[in-house]
Every structure is written in structure tokens, then in C-alpha cells.
Amino acid sequence: MQTILETLRISSTNHGISTGLAAWEGRGEELSSFSPVDGQLIGKVHAASREDYDTVIGQAQEAFKTWRLVPAPKRGDIVRQMGEQLRKYKTELGTLVSYEMGKSLQEGLGEVQEMIDICDFAVGLSRQLYGLTMHSERPSHRMYEQWHPLGIVGIISAFNFPVAVWSWNSMLAWVCGDVCVWKPSEKTPLTAVACQNIIQEVLKTNDVPEGVSGLIIGGREVGEWLSHDERVPLVSATGSTRMGKSVGQAVGGRLGRSLLELGGNNAIIISQHADLPLAIPAIVFGAVGTAGQRCTSTRRLIIHESIYEDVKQRLVKAYGQLRIGNPLDSNIHVGPLIDTLAVKNYQSAVDEVRIAGGTFVVEPGVLTGADFASGCYVQPCVAEVENHWPIVQHETFAPILYLIKYSTLDEAIALQNGVPQGLSSAIFTLNVRESELFLSQAGSDCGIANVNIGTSGAEIGGAFGGEKETGGGRESGSDAWRAYMRRQTNTINYGTTLPLAQGIKFEI
């Protein structure tokens, strides 16, 4: 790990604020990053003080004046080079993601691959920031719309995708001509420092102002500075619904824009027409992958009554084969939770399930012993519950899967939609009427609805995000780029008279 840290230029004490290679010492509190894998201290970071924060924002404002004038395809070329740098450092960065966050090495590397993919997507996008042209109702007039950059995009990210979420936002924002200021999760600061080190090399080589990419490390308070800051026209915030409500109110209070990517409570419907050998691995990966710490993790399974017992027995068998332990070991299926607070939240949820009358068919538990010294390892568990219980309505960020029975598809869809969140959903069925109903306007109310694949994980080509308490934001592919730009409608008169719209006459 020491060699990896050195390659990524992470020292035992790091600079938590930076707009460039010449990073300086933050004057805020010192944050220690401990690995949930083995409880070891990886490094320390100095958080940003208010004064540091203002310096970073000031540099971003200055950088925007230059960056917005660089032609979009040239900005795309800089992002292309960032993708190349990420390819170069993929193994090291992926390993650090895995060690600092606790996800499997495959997922850590996959997260960096997602960053590379979004770079490629953004490069193409840099030549496709299209506006429409319209026909004017007035003679010798032309109308069209164009998209201009917004300015500073504030990015607040969560611990569970410590680097990919930043790249989804920043790579698009950069080709759009914006500059970015990133406040990563205080639980994964070192991966953020590593990313900043990697891309600042590209900015420096191309003589791009370092303020194009700002980093401010700190906790909730630093995030609040961003959401209240009128110099930041767009705040993209990924995290809990509690955080999103607070950011949404603060940004809305100053009539700024927010892009919110918040919690999910994702369900899979298992119809009597499901291909179960296809469904079972999708369910298990969705529920226990990343130790249940994905916003798209499968939390509820809504199973047709005729196959309920069969599905339950198959799951019990599959859970019996799970290997829990060091996520850097490729034989392991389930790594740790992020910290001991997350373990406490898991235990409280388990208690609440029992108090409500739930039955565990795969028992929960906190793992102890030399292999689990960090105290962050828990047993993925499965419980029979009712959908309306408060604990089932709530997102617990841990590998707890709830089983719910249904009789008709309408009832299943009502159960699937009957939670405050609306991120990801899926149905397993080979019946085309069922799958089409599920995808129709009378079907799933989520931002993501899948057929015969699980809820977890998404490709960067689609717009990612969800409805209701998930916040309504969309990031990544499709036309999500529009959130990072402002639309301007232009009318040009190339004639010799001045006709007014709607035939109004005004003579002087």
C-alpha cells in the first residue's frame, strides 16, 4: 500500500485544500482516514478553513474567465488527457478506493473504469452541445438557442462512490466550460487528494489555470458554505436525503440551482414468470455487493406468493455461500461497512425489524476475530417484513434484504412504489405484458426501471438519478449535460423594419 500511496503522491499528512500542485496546508481541523478493511490509519488531511475556502472559490472565479473562452472541443481534449492519466493510474487509484472505502478490489477498479468511461463520453459531448433553431414569426428574423457555461459547479459527494460521482459531474461540467470545486466525503478524503493530484498534472501540462479544479476537504460545515454561496450557481450534491433536503433548501433559498442525487429504497419484483437462475445472482449481488452501500443496492424483494418459499430457500442457500472478509482478496464477496457508526446503524435496523415483528431467514450479526479487527464487518441478512413498517420505508445503508409477498402485479407495483424514495427498480419476468406494464406510466415510479437485470449498478450512457426523495437530479449520460449550462434564446433581425412579436404596433 505504501508504494501505491507514494505513486499517488499521498503522504502521511496531506493538504486538504488545493487548486493545484502547489497545494498549501489547510488551516481547518485535521481529519484522519482509517481503512475499514483493517482499521489502520492511512493518512491525515488538513481540512479547509473558511479563509481557505474563500481562496479556492476566488481562484475558481478567476479560472472561469479563461476556461469559458477555450473552445469546447479543446476543453474536450483536456478531458481526454485526464482519461489517459486515469488509465495510467487505474490500478493504484482503484486499490486506494478499495482500501479507503472498503469495496472489493474489482469494484474499486470498476469505479476508476467508470471515470475513464465518462471522460470518453465527455470528449464526444464536447462537440455535441447542441441547441435548437426555431422559425421566427417575424420576417427577416432568425431565432436559435445556445448553451453557455454556468460558472462554478460545487460538487458534494458521498463516501460510497468516492471518486466516480465527482467525475460524472466534473468531466461534463468541464467540457461545458464550467469550473469545479469539489467537497468530497470526509470519510474518504485521500482518494479525492489522489484524483486532484492526477488531473492537476494535465492542467499544468496544458497551461490551464489550476482553479479549474478546486478541492476543499471538510465535513458538513464546508458543504454548507458551498450551498449558501451565491458565487456558486450550481451545487450538485450526492448523499443522504437528510443532506439533500438541507442543501436543496439552502440553494433554493438563494434561487440557485441544485442537482440532488439522494438515497434509494430499491426493490425487485420476482414474478411467477421469472427466470430464477437469472434472478438469484442479481438479487444477491444487488443486496450484498459493496456491503449494501450503493444507492442502487437491492433493499426489498417483492415475490409472487406461488414461488415465495422457493425463492426464500434459494436465497438462504446462496447467502450460505458468501465469503466475508478483506475486500482486496479477490475470493471475497463482501467487505466491511465504512465505519463503526454504520455498524451501529445496521444493528439498530436489525433491532427495529425484530420489534416490528420481522423474522430473519438469514441471521444478522457483527463479525469478530483477527480477520475483522476494524470492527466494520457484518453478516448480510434477510428478513420477512411488511412494506409499511417505518424501518422498511427507510434506507439502511447496509446489507439487509427484506422479503415481501404479493398476489397480483398491480399490488406488487403499488408495494414497489409505496416508499418515499424513487431511485432504482426492477422486475424479473419472461411475460411481456408484465414487463411492459412495469415500464409504463402506470408502472414503476423510479428514475431507473430494469427488466431481467437487478437494481444495482448503471451504465454511464444513461441519465442517472431518481424521483421523490431521491431528489430528481440526473447525472452522467443522455442529455444530463444541460444541467451544467444555461440556455440562452437569441433573436436576430437582419431586415430593415422592426416588426414586434404578436403583431403589436408601436409607432412613434
What does the binding site for ligand NAD look like in residue numbers (CB under 6 A)? 156-161, 165, 183, 185-186, 219-220, 223-224, 227, 238-240, 243, 246-247, 261-264, 295, 395, 397, 423, 470
Out of 100, 107, 186, 261, pick the active-site residue: 261
Q: Please say whether the beta carbons of 256 and 232 come within 8 A.
A: yes
Q: How far is the CB of 18 from ligand NAD (least distance, A)?
A: 17
Cβ proximity to ligand NAD: between 52 and 395 the closer is 395
305 is catalytic: no
Q: Please say whether the beta carbons of 355 and 369 come within 8 A.
A: no
Cβ proximity to ligand NAD: between 274 and 349 the closer is 349
- Residue 214, strand partner residues: 181
Cβ proximity to ligand NAD: between 158 and 376 the closer is 158
Q: Please say whether the beta carbons of 180 and 214 come within 8 A.
A: yes
108's grid cell = 474499486
Cβ neighbours of residue 265 closer than 8 Å, sequence gap 6 or more: 299, 300, 393, 394, 395, 419, 420, 421, 423
Cβ proximity to ligand NAD: between 108 and 263 the closer is 263
Q: Please say whether the beta carbons of 377 and 336 come within 8 A.
A: yes
Please tell me whether residue 176 adopts helix, strand or coil conformation.
coil
217's grid cell = 476537504
Nearest-angstrom CA–CA distance, 492 and 397: 54
Nearest-angstrom CA–CA distance, 148 and 31: 38
Q: How far is the CB of 378 from ligand NAD (least distance, A)?
A: 16
Q: How far is the CB of 362 from ligand NAD (least distance, A)?
A: 22
Of 111, 464, 95, 109, the closest CA to residue 296 belongs to 464
Nearest-angstrom CA–CA distance, 340 and 334: 16
Cβ proximity to ligand NAD: between 99 and 147 the closer is 99
Q: How far is the CB of 326 from ligand NAD (least distance, A)?
A: 22
Cβ proximity to ligand NAD: between 159 and 346 the closer is 159
Of 230, 234, 229, the closest CA to residue 257 belongs to 234
Q: How far is the CB of 119 from ligand NAD (least distance, A)?
A: 19
Residue with cell 452522467: 476
- Residue 330, strand partner residues: none
Q: How far is the CB of 397 from ligand NAD (least distance, A)?
A: 5
Of 284, 228, 279, 277, the closest CA to residue 256 belongs to 228
What is the CA 195 to chain-centroid distance, rounded?
16
Q: How far is the CB of 431 from ligand NAD (least distance, A)?
A: 30
Rounded to the nearest 5°, which phi and psi values hold at 219?
A: -95, -150
**Largest Cα–Cα separation, the chain:** 90
Report the residue number whose CB is nearest to ligand NAD. Answer: 223
Active-site annotation, residues: 261
